[in-house]
Amino acid sequence: MKAGIAINLVFVVLSSDLAYGGELQDGNENCSSYMTPGTTVPTVEFLTCSFRRNGALQEQEAERRRIEADERYKMLYKNSPSHSSWSYQRCVIKNLPDAQNDYSAQVMNQDCLQFPYYAKETDSDYFGYSTAAECFRDTAKKTPSRIAAVNIRRACDDLFPQ
């Protein structure tokens, strides 16, 4: 079993060397000079060089992927709704007063769950309220739905803690 693994490993190393023509694409190291002419058995130096070269290639590829991932995360962070002033609570306060019954209130509440539970702090609130009672009084009076009123109360309490 171990001999089979070693033969496969040698084949992979040799085939990758042949694919690159014995040189790194950026010209760092040429491993073909370690191969004995006229033989098919690789020398220890050739294998060592191949492992070193393949390790360098893998490291370069990993670094490239790491940089690309960092750039993608920065873009996601920048464009994420959790890094804007919009949140689940603000969605509830804006949309649930329009609910005409409990079923529509549940559907609207489910739609608001796509937003982060809390958004970043803002200097002034989006709706202009300063207390939870004022928020609830102005928004919940517009809806006949009991479920909408409960969710609005909870959202106002979360946005404006006493």
Interior CA angle at 127 toward 149 and 148, to 5°?
Answer: 10
Indicate if 35 and 89 belong to the same structural domain: no
Residue 27: the pLDDT is 43
Average pLDDT for runs of 10 along the chain of length 162: 50 48 53 80 85 89 92 70 69 90 93 76 62 88 90 88 72
| Whole-model pTM over 0.85 | no
Indicate if 98 and 62 belong to the same structural domain: no
Indicate if 88 and 52 belong to the same structural domain: no
Residue 97 CB neighbours (<10 A): 19
Q: Which two tokens stand for residue 22?
A: 């014995």
Q: Which of 79, 107, 139 is the last residue of a domain?
A: 79
Indicate if 22 and 72 belong to the same structural domain: yes
